[in-house]
């Protein structure tokens, strides 16, 4: 259903993105932001699922500026490599990869209104996009690592946000989720009986029940705000 294309960021950098196109007229666009494992088979499948729901789905390779063609699995060595790539990406001079996400939003905007969804590190970038970027109509971070820290809580979203967290997530405490929720009553926050990465069926933490419910809520949210 999808294929890779090249996006151009504001600074002229070319960024690969996996683009999945719906069969009929698009309902709108969805930007899909990867975990720390690259635009791998799981992220491509997520984009394909949104295309099957009628959206033009765009998944930019957000590690491209630090290392091209990243496609990792979920073993301990992959986790270590992904964390190093995240650290290198976070260390880029501002605006860093946010301009790559902005380019993806522009591409997705060909289809109409645009939503953004991201997982793990991508969830954090999705939150930042909701607060800082142009051209979005809705944002859905899944277990965004760092979203519930004081610095990120201090941000103010410019578009409606739906946030998914797992109550067994060792990286994001329930207390910090509650603090985020209290600071942002305008954000729809859901907590699932699940671990970090529960949406990924290639990880040991996959939780089918939480995935199904979060997906239903996300699709309803995008139907309301994107189309």
> Out of 48, 100, 169, 195, which one is annotated catalytic?
169
Q: Is the dihedral of CA 212, 215, 221, 226 positive or negative?
A: negative
Q: Round the CA-based radius of gyration of the chain to a whole number and report it.
A: 16
Distance CA 65, CA 13 (A): 8
**Are the CB atoms for 172 and 205 separated by under 8 Å?**
no
How big is the CA angle at 32 (ends 144 and 115), to the nearest 5 degrees?
A: 90
Choose, from 120, 164, 200, 225, the residue flagged as catalytic: 120
User: Does the active-site annotation cover 200?
Assistant: no
Mean pLDDT of 136-159: 97
The residue with tokens 């607060």 is 131
pTM over 0.85: yes
- Tokens at 220, concatenated: 């309803």
pLDDT score of 195 more than 90: no
Q: How far apart are CA 104 and CA 95, in angstroms?
A: 15
Catalytic one among 107, 164, 184, 196?
A: 196
What is the residue-averaged pLDDT of the chain?
97
């Amino acid at each position: 259903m999808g294929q890779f294309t090249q996006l151009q960021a504001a600074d002229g950098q070319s960024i690969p993105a996996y683009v999945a196109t719906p069969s009929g007229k698009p309902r709108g666009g969805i930007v899909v932001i990867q975990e720390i494992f690259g635009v791998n088979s799981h992220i491509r499948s997520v984009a394909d699922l949104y295309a099957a729901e009628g959206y033009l789905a765009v998944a930019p390779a957000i590690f491209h500026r630090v290392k091209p063609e990243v496609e990792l699995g979920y073993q301990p060595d992959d986790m270590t490599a992904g964390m190093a790539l995240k650290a290198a990406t976070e260390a880029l001079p501002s605006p860093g990869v946010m301009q790559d996400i902005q380019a993806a939003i522009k591409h997705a905007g060909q289809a109409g209104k645009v939503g953004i969804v991201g997982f793990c590190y991508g969830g954090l970038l999705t939150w930042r996009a909701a607060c800082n970027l142009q051209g979005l109509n809705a944002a859905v971070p899944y277990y965004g690592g760092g979203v519930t820290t004081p610095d990120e809580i201090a941000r103010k979203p410019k578009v409606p946000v739906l946030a998914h967290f797992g109550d067994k997530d060792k990286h994001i405490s329930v207390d910090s989720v509650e603090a985020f929720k209290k600071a942002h009553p305008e954000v729809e926050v859901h907590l699932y009986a699940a671990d970090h990465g529960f949406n990924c069926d290639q990880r040991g933490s996959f939780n089918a029940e939480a995935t199904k419910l979060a997906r239903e809520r996300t699709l309803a949210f995008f139907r309301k705000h994107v189309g």
